[in-house]
């Protein structure tokens, strides 16, 4: 009888935190693999440990067939200092775990949503066990660090860049969620021929529950004739949500009836609330507490349009936010306030209207244009989104492709 293959997933974030790696892990278990996830104590995005979890609580558990090992970490809090300690504590804990664990998986899959530092654990453990090491990049470092922290000093960014180079060198495969990432990664891998073998475009997919649904009335999103725009996800600095206050002021000048329904939590939420209060545009905003990902399609049902928003930066112009696939799979028209590759996807698919990051006037005009469309025209955009999603982001197709590469002979030098 053939031995059951064992996949070790390294991801600082995992269930009950809401990231796509949750679904990937469960799908691999359903496909017959033994799956173990090395992760942290859940604290994202609130910054404090989830109820029932802690340094001495639920450090090991099994969820949907997946074994979970939780390393002791510092909660991220609400400050940059807290975030740094959060990132470092996971790596330090991982270093000691690597030294003492008796776990013997057949391959490693590191799911890199910032921080990139977590990938060091995969490198170290791969070297120790001499097993394939796959890195999936959804955030590009060190560029992401510069944008989020505002730090540009070569004494800080330089060492981070060297760490990234070291990680890339010691991965057998590098999966990328955005085609735009390839050029930067190519420049960090000395042998371009090797880079062509190592780097695989593997876009994100939407979980099965992201689909068009019919929902009962939700008191949280009133049906009062306002044009409802829904944003769901992390309310962080990277999302560039401050632009919405400027847009609301423009809409108020034109006496247009619009509501931004903001579902979620994050480090920028209170800042945004304060900006709204100062501007007196509260009637344009509706804040809804974070919801389980499975419930989000019900909120999308009541949306006239869905919003994808990012701050202006070179790195974000290369990034395709995970919510892109979620929005498209729900078959709703999409408004994009972001640069680069996500614009290309929405434009090519005919699924919405796009404006540049932090262009308040452009986003305002697109909102007005979408309001002036007929319901049939907006429904057509939603159908275009669905069709593009099925063709390019099909879950089974992408999982099949990943499965082909998970256990290949190692390419990297030991």
Question: Can you give 88-148 as a three-state secondary structure string?
Answer: HHHHHHHHHHHHHCCCCCCEEEEEECCCHHHHHHHHHHHHHHCCCEEEEECCCCCHHHHHH
Q: Could you read off the pLDDT of 91-144 as tens digits, one per residue?
A: 999 999 999 999 999 999 999 998 999 999 999 999 999 999 999 999 888 887
With CA atoms as reference, report the closest residue to 229 among 273, 263, 255: 263
Rounded to the nearest 10 degrees, the angle between the axes of helix 375-392 and helix 341-349 is 120
pLDDT band at 266 (very low <50, low <70, confident <90, very high): confident
Q: Provide the pLDDT confidence category of residue 201 given band limits of 50, 70 and 90.
A: very high
Q: Which of 135, 102, 105, 94 is nearest to 36 (CA)?
A: 105
Tens-place pLDDT, residues 215-225: 777 789 988 99
Q: Which tens digit of pLDDT belongs to each residue from 315-370?
A: 888 889 889 999 999 999 999 999 999 999 999 999 999 999 999 999 999 999 99
Q: Are 102 and 129 in contact (CB under 8 A)?
A: no
Q: What is the pLDDT of residue 195?
A: 53
What's the pLDDT tens digit per position in 270-321?
999 999 999 999 999 999 999 998 999 999 999 999 999 999 988 888 889 8
- Structure token digits, residue 11: 């991801």
Number of other CB atoms surrounding residue 60 within 10 Å:
8
Element (H, E) at 326: helix 323-329
Closest Cα to residue 168, out of 132, 139, 135? Answer: 135
Task: Report how far residue 234's alpha carbon sits from residue 269's, in angstroms, rounded to the nearest whole number.
Answer: 9
pTM beyond 0.85, yes or no: no
Inter-residue contact 240 to 312 (CB < 8 Å): yes
Q: Which domains, and CATH codes, for the chain?
A: 6-204+394-405 (3.40.50.2000), 227-392 (3.40.50.2000)
């Amino acid at each position: 009888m053939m031995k059951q293959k064992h996949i070790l997933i390294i991801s600082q974030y995992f269930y009950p935190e809401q990231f796509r790696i949750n679904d990937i892990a469960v799908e691999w278990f359903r496909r017959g693999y033994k799956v173990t996830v090395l992760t942290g104590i859940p604290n994202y995005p609130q910054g404090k440990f989830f109820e029932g979890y802690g340094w001495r609580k639920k450090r090991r558990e099994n969820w949907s067939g997946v074994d979970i090992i939780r390393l002791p970490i510092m909660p991220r809090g609400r400050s940059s200092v807290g975030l740094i300690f959060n990132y470092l504590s996971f790596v330090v804990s991982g270093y000691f775990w690597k030294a003492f664990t008796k776990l013997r998986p057949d391959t490693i899959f590191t799911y890199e949503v910032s921080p990139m530092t977590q990938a060091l654990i995969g490198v170290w453990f791969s070297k120790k066990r001499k097993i394939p090491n796959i890195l999936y990049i959804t955030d590009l470092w060190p560029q992401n660090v510069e944008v989020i922290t505002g730090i540009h000093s070569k004494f800080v960014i330089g060492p981070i860049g060297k760490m990234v180079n070291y990680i890339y060198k010691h991965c057998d495969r590098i999966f990328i969620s955005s085609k735009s990432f390839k050029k930067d990664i190519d420049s960090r891998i000395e042998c371009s021929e090797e880079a062509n073998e190592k780097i695989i475009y593997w876009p994100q997919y939407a979980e099965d529950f992201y689909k068009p649904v019919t929902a009962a009335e939700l008191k949280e999103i009133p049906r009062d004739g306002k044009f409802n725009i829904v944003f769901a996800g992390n309310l962080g600095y990277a999302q560039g949500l401050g632009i919405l206050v400027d847009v609301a002021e423009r809409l108020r000048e034109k006496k247009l009836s619009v509501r931004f329904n903001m579902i979620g939590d994050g480090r920028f939420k209170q800042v945004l609330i304060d900006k709204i209060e100062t501007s007196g545009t509260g009637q344009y905003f509706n804040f809804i507490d974070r919801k389980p990902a499975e419930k989000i399609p019900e909120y999308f049902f009541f949306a006239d349009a869905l919003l994808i928003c990012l701050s202006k930066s070179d790195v974000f112009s290369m990034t395709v936010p995970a919510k892109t696939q979620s929005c498209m799979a729900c078959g709703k028209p999409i408004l994009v306030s972001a640069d680069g590759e996500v614009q290309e996807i929405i434009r090519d698919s005919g699924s919405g209207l796009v404006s540049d990051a932090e262009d308040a006037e452009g986003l305002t005009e697109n909102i007005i244009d979408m309001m002036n469309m007929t319901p049939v025209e907006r429904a057509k955009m939603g159908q275009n989104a669905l069709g593009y999603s099925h063709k390019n982001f099909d879950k089974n197709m992408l999982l099949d492709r990943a499965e082909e590469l998970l256990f290949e002979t190692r390419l990297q030098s030991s």
